[in-house]
Amino acid sequence: MTTDTAIIDTAGEIRVQDCYQCGKCTAGCPVAGHMDVMPNQIVRLAQMGMEDRAMLSESVWLCVSCQTCTTRCPKSVDCAGVMDAMRQLSAGRDAVAPAMRNTLIFMRAFLDNIRRNGRLNELELVGQFKTAGFFSSLSIPFLFKDAMLGPKMMSRRKLRLLGKKVRDRAIVKRIFERCHGKTADTPLKKDEQ
Amino acid sequence: MARIGVFTCWCGENVARHVDIEKVTETVAQMPGVRCSINYKYMCSDPGQAQIRDKIQSERLTGLVVASCSPHMHLKTFRKAAQTAGLNPYLVEMANIREHCSWVHHNREEATAKALDLIRMSVEKVKRDHELVPIRVPLTRRALVIGGGVAGIQAALDIADAGHEVALVEREPSIGGKMAGLSETFPTLDCSQCILTPRMVEVGQHPNIKLYTYSEVESVEGYVGNFKITIRQKARYVDMVKCTGCGDCWNSCPIKKNLSEFDCGMGFRKAIYIPFPQAVPARPVIDRLACTRLKRGTGCGLCEKKCQAKAINFADEDKLVVEQAGAVIVATGYKLYNIAKEQDNAQLSGYGEYGYGKYKDVIDALQFERLVSASGPTGGEIKRPSDGKIPQSVVFIKCVGSRDNAKGLAYCSKICCMYTAKHTMLYKHKTPGGEAHVFYMDIRAGGKAYDEFVRRAIEQDGAKYYRGRVSKITEENGKLIVRGADTLAGAPVTIEADMVVLAVAMRPADGVHALAQKLNVGYDEFGFLSESHPKLRPVETNAAGVFICGACHAPKDIPEAVAQASAAAGKTLVMFGREELTREPEIARINEQTCAACYTCVRGCPYTAIERAETLTPKGVHVKYTARVNEGLCMGCGTCVALCPSKSAELEGFTEQQIYSMVESLMT
């Protein structure tokens, strides 16, 4: 067994070796129809120590963590947990399916936003996401994609010009500090997620 | 003065590789009481045994230690050799220097030292052995078979045909069991009833078989060769002798809407009914919970008025009957795992996601059997339960409950792969253009002509097999939406079905645990009865004289259940072929002189083998009360020895003196 499988095993005491590939996870997955690699195949790759392939799938970023797979698994394998571990591995190594690059950028921008404000500042997020995305893709159309949504959202009060910050940002900072350093290659334990 | 012979075996290389045999032989020869010490390559072989016999006679040995393998392996062999040479066989001890020594210790010096210790202990023990004589127990040559399914029927007929009397106890009003309700059987597709009902009739008419239907075993007393079984005959409210089975009663009964147990709830029966037309005995029974007369104590009574034979008896009560038997065969069969409803066991949970019980067209495999059966509620037409339409698309789901640790059952139910293939065939044959979809995890079709049968369902009859489980079933516009996976194609699959058939796990029948406790038979974590040895004693149990066969032991199909039933009958007949039974004499004895009659042992004995007894003078005057061991029942476990506060209980062949001397020999 490779060390990578060990990472998954310690992640949330997920026993990937228990999986007998019945496919019930895939059967119940609401987004399996959009996935390139089926949930049961992700678990299979993890079982065989082939995380490199699993984390480069689009599926791990399409997973919505609804936990249906974990709930119905006849062998009590935490399939959603495997997905989570793969995302963390992918983020930590900055290795991601090309089509999902922007998703990873968005996630990072989102978390960074939360870390600094304690809550979401939508306009700032848009700025962060577009900037980072532009430097990654060097695509001008990307910069202006969805721009027309701005006024609509503004009119419905979904986008504030001046974002508010939470009062006690020290606590938020501490949460991030606790997680930091562990996110790189060691996924978090259950209670910390 | 003790004259002990020690015979050390090389076991080829098994012992000799790690134990210095020559050193052992020489050292042992110096032990006090040892008259001769020799070694040989294979002590169990003919020349090896010949040496033992020769030494017993030439050295006039008073005891024997064979240092070799486990007593499980060869104690009987060496005891027999001793007996042939005129030495009491219970003066033979074995020192296990293979399993306990050479197989687990690979340091030659240490292994040799341990072998010496083991032999030293055995020498001390054998010095204190007494001559023992096997216990003889008289034998009743009658058998009791519990359960009247195909296994019970087979076992009863085999024993009865051999000329011995059999009492067959069946809980339901008719024998036939689950098999009587099946449609056709794999892998030949012959009609289940056509092959079973003649056997049922044979049981009903056999002069050697006494049939107790609608009866249960109340209690069991006694021991191998001499069981005394009390049977509760439930009140049937119909006189079995007077009744002619004409049917006037059930034709006149106005209480019609009772779900038929035989039809697995797919059809109805009257309050007075026979389960199915071919029932044996063909005598009706009144459902005391459904009958208005029995519920209210007055009114109705139509059946009584119509019965010309005057066989209806509303005042009928449960009766207790006592049967004597030398052997008991348990063939209580199986029930299906409960898919959606409350579970009888806290470790199990149901399949809410499949909607069984919520959607009428989600049925279990036995219900489907009734739908396909010519004797079933639809006369063999496959009509779905909700609206009676013929389903154009049926989904079959395997491993429902089985192999599902999260629901509590880890085992494979073994027969579902085969009957699901059969179901698809029967459905395809009866519904031209119909689609049969099967969700499976693995196809387990080991058996004569079994895999060919499954391939036929796929290749010739066109059943579509998907390798994957189903996650959820929902209902939309009268269609069942089945969401499954095809792991071979690597894609989720959604099928709109008219009906869903679940291949549900097999579990041991209700009440089998209470019965097992009455018989002192063990069962596993899933409740299946335990055999004595998984390979070599597959129909015996740890309770002497109690045999098991059929699905009470593990999930099995008909041929296997029948084969096992004949095996159980064979074992019974082997027992009945003897003059009397002999039992090993290594059992507990109570010293009645010192026994204080506290009866701690009576309460502690797991085999209820110790009785309260009274000591009388030859003239019949009371002396004292004591505990006394029943030789027929005692298994020699030694619980009483450990419990007895006055040290009055001893285990023959394992006395405290012997055990202490063994320990002491290690200390010096």
Are B596 and B644 in the same domain? yes
Cβ-defined contact of B468 to A26 (cutoff 8 Å): yes
What mean pLDDT is reported for chain B?
A: 95
Q: Residue B341 — pLDDT band, cuts 50, 70, 90?
A: low
Q: What is the mean pLDDT of residues A8-25?
A: 80
Amino acid at position B549, single letter: C
Are A110 and A161 in the same domain? yes
**CB distance B482 to B500 below 8 Å:** yes
Cβ-defined contact of B470 to A27 (cutoff 8 Å): yes
Cβ-defined contact of A20 to B399 (cutoff 8 Å): no
What is the least distance, in Å, from the CA of B466 to any CA of chain A?
10
What is the least distance, in Å, from the CA of A81 to any CA of chain B?
17
Are A71 and A136 in the same domain? no
**Size of chain A in residues:** 193
Q: Which residue of B has its CA nearest to A68?
A: B471
Residue B187: is the preceding peptide bond cis (ω within 30°)?
yes
**CB distance B605 to B653 below 8 Å:** no
Instruction: Answer yes or no: is B393 within a domain.
Output: yes
Tally of domains in chain A: 2
Out of A80, A96, A112, pick the residue that ends a domain. Answer: A96
The three-point CA angle B383-B385-B388 to 5° equals 45
**CB distance B546 to B330 below 8 Å:** yes
pLDDT of residue A182: 55
Rounded CA-CA distance B666/B668 in Å is 6
Would you call B320 exposed, middle or buried from its count of C-beta atoms within 10 A (0-12, 13-18, 19+)? exposed
Tokens of B64: 């024997």
Euclidean distance between the first and final Cα of chain A, in Å? 26
Least confident range of B179-183, B467-471, B619-623: B619-623
Instruction: Answer yes or no: is B658 within a domain.
Output: no
Question: What DSSP element (H or E) covers B566?
Answer: helix B558-576
Residues 6+ apart with CB under 8 A from B382: B371, B372, B390, B391, B426, B427, B430, B431
pLDDT of residue A187: 47
Instruction: Answer yes or no: is B666 within a domain.
Output: no
pLDDT in tens, B598-656: 999 999 998 889 999 998 999 999 999 999 999 888 889 999 999 999 999 999 999 99
Interface with A, mutate which of B471, B473, B474, B481 (most A CBs under 10 A): B471
Out of A71, A96, A121, pick the residue that ends a domain. Answer: A96
Are A81 and A104 in the same domain? no
> Per-residue pLDDT for B1 more than 50?
yes
Say what percent of chain B tops pLDDT 70: 100
Give residues 124 to 163 of A whose Cβ lies within 8 Å of B: none
Q: Look up the CATH number of the domain holding residue B184.
A: 3.50.50.60
Are A92 and A164 in the same domain? no
> Per-residue pLDDT for B206 more than 60?
yes
What is the least distance, in Å, from the CA of B668 to any CA of chain A?
51
At B510 the three-state DSSP class reads: coil
Are B491 and B515 in the same domain? no
Tokens of B487: 């792991």
pLDDT in tens, B213-254: 999 999 998 888 999 999 999 999 999 999 999 999 999 999
Tokens of B68: 């070799």
**CB distance A70 to A82 below 8 Å:** no
Tokens of B435: 């689609």
Instruction: Answer yes or no: is A192 within a domain.
Output: no
Are B560 and B600 in the same domain? no
Q: Look up the CATH number of the domain holding residue B92.
A: 3.40.50.960
Strands (E), B121-271: 135-137, 142-146, 165-169, 184-185, 190-191, 209-212, 215-223, 226-233, 258-259, 268-269
Instruction: Answer yes or no: is A189 within a domain.
Output: no
Out of A56, A73, A96, pick the residue that ends a domain. Answer: A96
> Per-residue pLDDT for A48 more than 50?
yes
CA B19 to chain centre: 42
Instruction: Answer yes or no: is B240 within a domain.
Output: yes
Count CB atoms within 10 A of the CB of residue B488: 11
pLDDT of residue A184: 44
Instruction: Answer yes or no: is A43 within a domain.
Output: yes
Instruction: Answer yes or no: is A184 within a domain.
Output: no
Which residues of A are less than 8 Å from B353 in CB distance?
28, 72
Q: Residue B582 — pLDDT band, cuts 50, 70, 90?
A: confident
Tokens of A57: 């799938």
Are B283 and B430 in the same domain? no
Q: Look up the CATH number of the domain holding residue A10.
A: 1.10.1060.10
Q: What is the mean pLDDT of residues A8-21?
A: 75
Tokens of B253: 């009964």
Rounded CA-CA distance B78/B93 in Å is 9
Residues 6+ apart with CB under 8 A from A17: A47
Q: Partners of B537 in the beta sheet?
A: B533
> Per-residue pLDDT for B660 more than 60?
yes
Instruction: Answer yes or no: is B565 within a domain.
Output: yes
Question: What DSSP element (H or E) covers A73?
Answer: none
Are B376 and B484 in the same domain? yes
> Per-residue pLDDT for B195 more than 90?
yes
Are A105 and A78 in the same domain? no
Q: Which of A21, A27, A76 sits opposite B484 (nearest CB)?
A: A27
Are B626 and B535 in the same domain? no
Are B536 and B462 in the same domain? no
Say what percent of chain A tops pLDDT 90: 51
Domain residues for B553?
A: 136-221+322-332+509-582
Rounded CA-CA distance A174/B53 in Å is 85
Instruction: Answer yes or no: is B663 within a domain.
Output: no
pLDDT of residue B606: 86
Are B249 and B387 in the same domain? no
pLDDT in tens, B511-554: 999 999 999 999 999 999 999 988 889 999 988 899 999 999 99
Tokens 């219900």 belong to which residue? B367
Are A32 and A66 in the same domain? yes
**What is the number of CB-based contacts under 8 A between chain A and chain B?**
76
Are A86 and A141 in the same domain? no
Tokens of B418: 């085969």
CA B348 to chain centre: 22
Q: Any idea what DSSP says for residue B404?
A: B
Instruction: Answer yes or no: is A15 within a domain.
Output: yes
Q: Any idea what DSSP says for residue B387?
A: T
**CB distance A37 to A57 below 8 Å:** yes
**CB distance B231 to B214 below 8 Å:** no
Phi first, then psi: give them for residue B332, nearest 5 degrees: -85, -5
What interhelical angle do A39-47 and A3-12 show, nearest 10?
A: 120
Tally of domains in chain B: 5
Q: Any idea what DSSP says for residue B550?
A: G
pLDDT of residue A177: 83
Instruction: Answer yes or no: is A187 within a domain.
Output: no
Are B247 and B307 in the same domain? yes
Domain residues for A69?
A: 3-96
Are A109 and A172 in the same domain? yes
Phi first, then psi: give them for residue B38, nearest 5 degrees: -130, 165
Which residues of B are less than 8 Å from A38 in CB distance?
485, 487, 490-492
Are A74 and A63 in the same domain? yes
What is the least distance, in Å, from the CA of B625 to any CA of chain A?
59
pLDDT in tens, A109-146: 999 999 888 888 888 899 999 999 888 888 888 888 88
Give residues 73 to 102 of A whose Cβ lies within 8 Å of B: 73-76
pLDDT in tens, B549-579: 999 999 999 999 999 999 999 999 999 999 9
Are B151 and B242 in the same domain? no
Say what percent of chain B tops pLDDT 90: 91
What is the least distance, in Å, from the CA of A92 to any CA of chain B?
28
Cβ-defined contact of B469 to A38 (cutoff 8 Å): no
Are B495 and B518 in the same domain? no
Write the secondary structure of B4-20 as one string of H (helix), E (strand) and C (coil). EEEEEECCCCCCCCCCC
What is the least distance, in Å, from the CA of A136 to any CA of chain B?
32
At B169 the three-state DSSP class reads: strand
Instruction: Please compute, for residue B330, the number of CA atoms within 13 A of its CA located in the half-sphere on the CB side.
Output: 35
pLDDT of residue A9: 52
Which residues of B are less than 8 Å from A22 in CB distance?
399, 441, 468-469, 485, 487
The three-point CA angle B45-B49-B53 to 5° equals 170
Interface with A, mutate which of B407, B466, B469, B482 (most A CBs under 10 A): B469
> Per-residue pLDDT for A186 more than 60?
no
Tokens of B429: 């044959």
Cβ-defined contact of A72 to B353 (cutoff 8 Å): yes
Instruction: Answer yes or no: is B353 within a domain.
Output: yes
Are A138 and A151 in the same domain? yes
Rounded CA-CA distance B401/B349 in Å is 9
pLDDT of residue A192: 43
Instruction: Answer yes or no: is B230 within a domain.
Output: no
Say what percent of chain A tops pLDDT 70: 86
Which residues of B are less than 8 Å from A27 in CB distance?
468-472, 483-485, 492-493
Rounded CA-CA distance B48/B35 in Å is 18
Question: What DSSP element (H or E) covers A5?
Answer: helix A3-12
Rounded CA-CA distance B462/B438 in Å is 11
Are A118 and A168 in the same domain? yes
What is the least distance, in Å, from the CA of A16 to any CA of chain B?
15
CA-atom Rg of chain B in angstroms: 31
Cβ-defined contact of A75 to B405 (cutoff 8 Å): yes
Beta pairing class for B334-336 and B506-508: antiparallel
Amino acid at position B434, single letter: G
Are B396 and B467 in the same domain? yes
Q: Residue A188 — pLDDT band, cuts 50, 70, 90?
A: very low
Q: Residue A8 — pLDDT band, cuts 50, 70, 90?
A: low
Rounded CA-CA distance B268/B258 in Å is 5
Out of B83, B105, B127, pick the residue that ends a domain. Answer: B127
What mean pLDDT is reported for chain A?
A: 85
Are A9 and A92 in the same domain? yes
Euclidean distance between the first and final Cα of chain B, in Å? 21
pLDDT in tens, B61-85: 999 999 999 998 899 999 999 999 9
